[in-house]
Amino acid sequence: MNHNDPDILGRLAERFPQGFTSVQAVDQPTLLTTRDQLVTMMQYLRDQEQYRLCLDVLVVDYLPDRPRFELVYHLYNPWKHARLRVKIRVGINEKVPSMTELWPGCNWPEREAFDLFGIQFEGHPNLRRIYLPDDWDGHPLRKDYPLTGTRVD
Amino acid sequence: MAIEKPELLGASEPDDTMIINLGPQHPSTHGVLRVRLQLDGERVVYAEPVIGYLHTGFEKSAENLTFQQCNTITDRLDYLAPMTNNLAYVLAVEKILKVEVPKRAQYIRVLFAELTRVASHLVWLGTHVMDLGAMSLFFYTMREREVILDLIEAASGVRMNPSYFRVGGLAYDLPDGFHEKVYAFIKDFPRWMKAYRHLFDGNPLINVRLKGIAILSQEDALGLSVTGPNLRATGLPLDLRKDEPYSSYDEFEFAVPVRTECDAYARFWVRVDEMYESMKIIEQAIDKIEPQGPYATSDRKISLPPREEIYGNMEALIHQFKLVTQGFPVPAGEVYHGIEGPRGEIGFYLVSDGGSKPYRWRARTPSFYNLQSLPLMCKGGLVADVITSIGSIDIMLGDVDK
């Protein structure tokens, strides 16, 4: 049972015409937007639509595709119990605006995305590796990073 | 409710402060958490959690395992509450596969999810009170937790990493005499809790060291993605068991404990009250579970056929072989499912490319997000209260570092 808002994509389409495309998903309303629209759209979702919890920020690596990465935000309205998924596509050396201004809780998941995928966030207060040592080479969750193996230098 | 925040001392120039490390090998950091403390005398200017000492790259490993095999990884995330991790994961896979699980299996899942919640809260209670200086409670709660681990062992064969829930149902049926063991546990539990409460009810140690300490307001908690008991201690009754019922939770009667003080004291009582509510669910669940009945879906493309069928049925043998060697294919697409774990919302986001291995396997582990609130809680407080804060967030380092 879920309480997802079925009209949210319609309301967003009125406010942001041509700002996004909706994506079919089995579990919750999903939309794919652009980097330029991201901050204004997130601001609107948090303040007007009351999506006050950003549950997760994560990255999916679709290796041969261009742009290569997909950044996924899971938003949650804690009063209506509605969920929403916002996605953008990011290329390998492109910068993404950080969401830490809107949700301070995006701090660590964005650092994790930087650590394990090498996504660069603009405006992040402390963009350093979080799990791996600072001198680690490469970003392990990328699809071209091997699962096992010995380094040969 | 307005609570005075501990005053920050005036002098906080870099020259006057000292930096010390708390952990990673410190018993009160509940694992391998390291906290970099900037201190001005006894006051904390800034506390920075440094994590990653237990990072094992679960998400990378999972991409090379089949969907059924990934279940074993979920056990190891939050190893004090493996069953709720299993539940979140199998529900996510079942959602994308659109599999119906028999009611009896759903009730058994609820029973074990609540048993692990009680077990996890017992460990938290013992260690948290030990951090505050009361040693003896730890021995009692660990002894009582052992009874729950015995129940888990009776059903799944192992104590710590059971992987008892499988996609499509359960790994095995309940053993003979299981109901009696649970009834005995239900009968003993109030007596234990009474004994514990003799130790901490009205204890000045609890009152003085928790009241008004480690304050996290509702505004900050929402902003920092804090969920679970930590959020409910700020007055927001957000509990996914009630709000988005999964696995037939809507058929159970229980209350959601909420407090409004926003401090460590509120978080303490939310968790203690939750144990009583979990026991109510356990009582109802064991009454609903029939001694005999289906424990997994009859869809042989997903769940393993029973042993006796394999020995006499060609098709069952083929299914067994296919499922064990290749796993089942999952339709292409993405899915997220979150449930209420003992520490907050534990959820799994899966991307499938149509094969039998996940293309992307992401765990939304609650402790990772909850721990972000530590700098805010500690700011301006005493060093001794840093320990209280860590204990009251109830972190699990396997969950933080994944």
Asked whether residue A143 is assigned to any structural domain, the reply reads no
Looking at residues B7-27, what average pLDDT do you find? 66
Looking at residues B187-201, what average pLDDT do you find? 87
Mean pLDDT of chain A: 89
Asked whether residue A37 is assigned to any structural domain, the reply reads yes
Asked whether residue A149 is assigned to any structural domain, the reply reads no
Looking at residues B251-280, what average pLDDT do you find? 92
Structure tokens that stand for A6 in this block: 């079925």
The CATH number covering residue A18 comes to 3.30.460.80
Asked whether residue A108 is assigned to any structural domain, the reply reads no
Categorize the per-residue pLDDT at B402 as very low, low, confident or very high, splitting at 50, 70 and 90: confident
Per residue in B351-379, pLDDT (tens digit) is 999 989 999 999 999 999 999 999 999 88
Cα B206 from chain centroid (whole Å): 24
Per residue in A107-118, pLDDT (tens digit) is 999 999 999 999
Q: Tell me the nearest-neighbour CA distance from B224 into chain A, angstroms.
A: 4
- The DSSP call for residue B238 is -
* Structure confidence at residue B104 (pLDDT): 92
Nearest CA in chain A to B246: A1
Q: Provide the number of CB pairs (under 8 Å) joining chain A to chain B.
A: 97
* Structure confidence at residue B185 (pLDDT): 92
Looking at residues B160-173, what average pLDDT do you find? 90
Residue B39 pLDDT greater than 80, yes or no: yes
Categorize the per-residue pLDDT at A20 as very low, low, confident or very high, splitting at 50, 70 and 90: confident
Q: Tell me the nearest-neighbour CA distance from A11 into chain B, angstroms.
A: 23
Asked whether residue A147 is assigned to any structural domain, the reply reads no
* Structure confidence at residue B4 (pLDDT): 35
ipTM of the complex: 0.92
Full 3-state SS string of chain A: CCCCCCCHHHHHHHHCCCCEEEECCCCCCEEEECHHHHHHHHHHHHHCCCCCEEEEEEEEECCCCCCCEEEEEEEEECCCCEEEEEEEEECCCCEEECCCCCCHHHHHHHHHHHHHHCCEEECCCCCCCCCCCCCCCCCCCCCCCCCCCCCCC
Per residue in B205-258, pLDDT (tens digit) is 888 888 888 889 999 999 999 999 999 999 999 999 988 999 989 999 999 999
Instruction: Tell me the C-alpha distance between A56 and B51, whole Å.
Output: 18
Asked whether residue A134 is assigned to any structural domain, the reply reads no
Task: Using a CB–CB cutoff of 8 Å, tell me whether A27 touches chain B.
Answer: yes
Categorize the per-residue pLDDT at B200 as very low, low, confident or very high, splitting at 50, 70 and 90: confident
Per residue in B303-354, pLDDT (tens digit) is 888 888 888 889 999 999 998 998 899 999 999 999 999 999 999 999 999 9
Q: Tally the domains of chain A.
A: 1
Structure tokens that stand for B73 in this block: 């990884």
Residues in chain A: 153
* Structure confidence at residue B9 (pLDDT): 35
Categorize the per-residue pLDDT at B14 as very low, low, confident or very high, splitting at 50, 70 and 90: low
Categorize the per-residue pLDDT at A1 as very low, low, confident or very high, splitting at 50, 70 and 90: low
Looking at residues B44-61, what average pLDDT do you find? 89
Looking at residues B107-115, what average pLDDT do you find? 93
Q: Tell me the nearest-neighbour CA distance from A106 into chain B, angstroms.
A: 7
Instruction: Mark out the alpha helices in B157-263 (DSSP H runs).
Output: 178-200, 204-210, 218-223, 229-232, 240-243
Domain range for A47 is: 8-103
Categorize the per-residue pLDDT at B5 as very low, low, confident or very high, splitting at 50, 70 and 90: very low
CB < 8 Å to A27, chain B: 95, 335-337
What residues contact B197, with CB distance under 8 A and at least 6 apart?
A: none
CB < 8 Å to A58, chain B: 349, 362
Asked whether residue A40 is assigned to any structural domain, the reply reads yes
Best mutation target among B334, B337, B399 (most A Cβ atoms within 10 Å) is B334
Highest mean pLDDT among A5-9, B266-270, B300-304: B266-270
The number of beta carbons lying within 10 Å of the beta carbon of residue B144 is: 21
Instruction: Tell me the C-alpha distance between B262 and B232, whole Å.
Output: 9
- Judge: B64–A132 Cβ closer than 8 Å, yes or no: no
* Structure confidence at residue B30 (pLDDT): 78
The number of beta carbons lying within 10 Å of the beta carbon of residue A125 is: 12
* Structure confidence at residue B131 (pLDDT): 86
* Structure confidence at residue A95 (pLDDT): 92
Asked whether residue A141 is assigned to any structural domain, the reply reads no
Tell me which amino acid residue B193 is. M
- Judge: B243–A27 Cβ closer than 8 Å, yes or no: no
Looking at residues B275-281, what average pLDDT do you find? 93
**Whether the Cβ atoms of residue B39 and residue B17 lie closer than 8 Å to each other:** yes
